[in-house]
Chains A and B, each alone.
Chain A
Amino acid sequence: MKEKIQIIIKGIFAENPTFVLILGMCPTLATTSSAINGLSMGLATAFVLMLSNLTISLVAKLIPDKVRIPSYIVIIAAFVTVVDLLMAGYLPDIHATLGIFIPLIVVNCIVLARAESFASKNGAVDSIFDGLGIGLGFTLALTCLGFVRELLGDYSVFGHKLTSGDGMILFILAPGAFFALAYLMILFNIVKRKFVKK
Chain B
Amino acid sequence: MAKESSFKNMTLTLLTITFVSSAVLAGVYELTKDSIEAVRIQKINRGISDVLPPFDNNPSDDVYKKYVDGDTVYVYPATKDGNSAGAAVQTFTNNGYGGKFVLLVGFLADGTINSINVISHSETPGLGDKINPKKSGFSLQFQGKNPETYKLAVRKEGGDVEAITASTISSKAFCDAVARAYRVYREDVMKQEARDGDTGATSNKETDNQ
Write the residues of chain A forming the contact surface with B, with a CB cutoff of 8 angstroms: 33, 60-68, 70-71, 74-75, 77-78, 81-82, 85-86, 88-90, 92, 120-121, 153-154, 166-167, 169, 172-173
Contact = CB atoms under 8 A, between A and B. Distances in A.
Given A88-B32, A88-B36, A169-B125, A74 B17 contact: yes
12 contacts: A61-B2, A62-B3, A64-B5, A65-B2, A67-B14, A74-B18, A75-B17, A81-B25, A85-B36, A88-B39, A89-B32, A169-B127
Contacts of A65: 1-5
B2 A82 contact: no
A86 B28 contact: yes
Chain B: interface secondary structure?
A: helix
A90 B33 CA distance: 11
Given A65-B1, A65-B4, A78 B32 contact: no
Chain A: interface secondary structure?
A: helix
B13 A63 contact: yes
A169 B166 CA distance: 12
Contact of A120 (B2, B5, B24): B2
Contact of B125 (A64, A121, A173): A173
Given A71-B17, A78-B25, A66 B36 contact: no
Given A85-B32, A88-B39, A61 B3 contact: yes
Contacts, number: 86
A15 B185 CA distance: 58
Contact of B13 (A33, A71, A154): A71
Contacts of B209: none
A191 B125 CA distance: 32
Nearest to A68: B2
B27 to A, nearest CB: 9
Contacts of B24: 78, 82
A154 B199 CA distance: 56
B126 interface: yes
Contacts of B124: 169, 173
B125 A63 contact: no
Contacts of A167: 126
B149 interface: no
A82 B17 contact: no
